[in-house]
Chains A and B, each alone.
Chain A
Amino acid sequence: MEHHTGFVLPNSGHNRDAEASKLGMWLFLFTELLLFGGLFIVYMVYRYMNHDAFLMSSFELSPVMGTINTIVLLVSSMTIAMSITAIQKGNTKTAIKLMSLTVFLAFVFLVIKYFEWSAKIHHGLFPGMEHYTNLPKGEALFFFLYFFMTGLHAFHIIIGVIFIGVVISKTKKGLLTSDNYSLNENAGLYWHLVDLIWIYLFPLFYLIH
């Protein structure tokens, strides 16, 4: 930059500001929470209106699969949190390992999800399929919401994997270090959000007994 007047504004939007990034990330998380919040309202109303149908359809879902996936996500939440501790302490290699482990667990989650979905689709329960259109009142809504909400959640997992992937590669290049790790923190916050939403999805779909 050219120095003409030598006068510098104290606060600049072009400075690195970790606190600003964090606040920005939290605001973004709020939008995500309310995005799913809208769906939870739909779920609440339809479950109230079609109580028995929701109960019946939930028996189609496997609580074992759901529980395993819950555990997988919780562990991945811990590994990403630990990776931030690692980078703060300057252990870049440990941080990369822990983030890679998080990505691996994300894939495990997605594979389990894939098997669950294909089993349902095999039974023709995907909206628009033959069996689906003949479902009794209310059950169709359950499966529409099931696919829509878990689908949207899985989409967020994929975005999270890409996000963490970017952070891993930047950390490898040495761009993120023990005094510049706000991107690591933000990736972590995002990943925890994905976890938070699953914490609610799990009992609402798998555990209505």
Chain B
Amino acid sequence: MEHPEKNKDNQPTTHHISSYKEHFGTLVTLLLLTFVTVVVSVFGANLATLSVATALLIATVKVVVVAYYFMHLKYDLKLYSWLVLLVIVLFVAFTVLTAIEYINR
């Protein structure tokens, strides 16, 4: 039974079907990024602490790629992206406040 008078924001979204090609492309991107991290950390030892930052940066890029394509954030309601952002902001705030504490001990 259909209810045309339903709330607008309660309407299910139109379903986007990602192609196999897109998924494969995503995987290739992720593998490339993995390759870069390994190279930077194994052969870039003299970069010292810079390698930690790059490793985490690349990991973050990978995570964004996974969330955006594999987890469908690109095609879903914007609500999900906002909520993910909220969680990230919270977690970053936790780490920053904790870091401030320890760095100033």
A-to-B contact residues, CB < 8 Å? 8, 10-11, 17-19, 22-23, 26, 30, 33-34, 37, 40-41, 44-45, 48-49, 63, 67, 70-71, 74-75, 77-78, 81-82, 84-85, 88-89, 185, 188-189, 192, 195-196, 199-200, 202-204, 207-209
Contacts and interface: CB of A to CB of B under 8 A. Distances in A.
Contacts of A71: 31, 34
Contact of A196 (B3, B27, B38, B67): B67
Contact of A26 (B12, B80, B91): B80
A49 B102 contact: yes
B6 interface: yes
Contacts, number: 122
Contacts of A82: 20, 23
Per DSSP, are chain A's interface residues mostly helix, strand or loop, or mixed? Answer: helix
Most chain B C-beta atoms within 10 Å of own C-beta, residue among A23, A41, A75, A203: A203
Contacts of B56: 200, 203-204
B34 A67 contact: yes
B100 to A, nearest CB: 12
B47 to A, nearest CB: 10
Contacts of A30: 83, 87
B42 A209 contact: yes
Nearest to A83: B23
28 contacts: A8-B1, A10-B5, A11-B6, A11-B7, A18-B12, A26-B80, A41-B94, A44-B95, A44-B99, A45-B98, A48-B102, A70-B34, A74-B27, A77-B66, A77-B70, A78-B27, A85-B17, A85-B18, A85-B20, A188-B71, A195-B70, A199-B66, A202-B59, A207-B37, A207-B42, A208-B41, A209-B42, A209-B51
Contacts of B17: 85, 88-89
A34 B70 contact: no
Interface residues of B, number: 54
A207 B38 contact: yes
B91 A33 contact: yes
Most chain A C-beta atoms within 10 Å of own C-beta, residue among B12, B70, B98: B70
Contact of A44 (B3, B19, B30, B98): B98
A18 B12 CA distance: 8
Nearest to A17: B12
Contact of B6 (A10, A22, A40): A10
Given A48-B99, A88-B17, A199-B62, 16 more contacts: A19-B77, A22-B76, A22-B80, A40-B95, A41-B98, A48-B103, A85-B23, A88-B15, A189-B71, A192-B71, A196-B67, A199-B59, A203-B55, A207-B41, A207-B51, A209-B41
